[in-house]
Amino acid sequence: MAVTLFAVEMLFLFPRFRPDGFRHFEQFEEAAEAGPARPLGIAGALVDHPQKRRSMLQPLTATGFLGLADPISLALQTPNWGERFFSSYGTRWWGYHYGVPAAATALVGAILGWRRLRRAGRESKRLGAYLAGCALVTGLLPPYSTPALREQRVRRSELYLPRTPYAMAPEDVRTANAAVAFIGHSPYLSVAAQDRLLPHLAGRRTILMLDRALEAEVIALQLNGATWPEGRPSWRRRVQAIAATGAYGVAFCAGQTVVLRRGVSSVACPSWDAFLASQATDTSSDATVPITQTTPAPSVGESVAVSTPGARNR
């Protein structure tokens, strides 16, 4: 049944809503181009990564590998494993919503394996304690954690955290809402925004991620906020490159939330000044993150290409 549903999704559902089909298939091409010419070499390049191997085994580890007692449970995992194996992005290997199918099918596999052991008379009285212990240890000492948690130097599973470290603090929520209200709801104002601000500003003709920020009239930033799809060092260099153009001034500033607007004089903003000062003293030798240099957004009535969040790298 799992394989049938996978085939229906790939052949009918995804092409129906996206002409190019399933977007993760782009990874198949990249893997083939980056890998050696021989088929075995390509296969080796796909799995020869320690974090990928740990992430693929993590759901089975958390359920004590009970699913191995019933081969059907492995068939349930196969579609999800196949899609994740071909991905070169760490966020797809485990965590967030990408890991949910693997966690669910591993749990179902544990139930099937436990039932088969019971029918065969091989069930131990301590099997329940063993399963709970595996889940506890894997959560407290996970072999793989998401990039967002690693950035915050948190190794435990999010299930064991009272509050995720990358979630917005109440004060940041307040200033973000104020920035959204300041920008307004004009559908013709082109806006580029950072991760958590994107959904709140998306009701317009042109909404962009920061890699295309120079096309926008307004840029919304949270200096202490989440930086997906980039890590914080790359995000810092990208924002610094935007500031270095001199085309934008600070139009709104509240706490760590900053709104830049093309061609305006900057208002006083301690957090923005502190950010620029910290970047000026940064001696990092990393290469500069490229900012797509394009013409500003079209005027009213012209056609507009909309960049939706997560259109490529998720």
Token pair belonging to 255 = 């706490």
Dihedral sign of CA atoms 32, 33, 38, 40 in order: negative
201 three-class SS: helix
pLDDT at residue 138 tops 70: yes
Position 17 confidence tier, pLDDT thresholds 50, 70, 90: confident
- Quote the Cα angle for 259-263-264, to 5°: 60
- Tell me, what's the pLDDT at 210? 94
Position 145 confidence tier, pLDDT thresholds 50, 70, 90: confident
Residue with the bigger pLDDT between 163 and 63: it is: 63
Dihedral of CA atoms 295, 297, 300, 302 in degrees, nearest 10, equals 60
pLDDT at residue 232 tops 50: yes
Q: What is the CA radius of gyration of the chain?
A: 23
Position 34 confidence tier, pLDDT thresholds 50, 70, 90: low
- Tell me, what's the pLDDT at 95? 67
What percent of the chain is predicted at pLDDT more than 70?
78
Average pLDDT over residues 37-50: 66
- Tell me, what's the pLDDT at 282? 66
Q: Whose structure tokens read 């899609």?
A: 83
pLDDT at residue 196 tops 70: yes
Residue type, 302: E
- Tell me, what's the pLDDT at 283? 45
Whole-number Å distance between alpha carbons of 298 and 304: 7
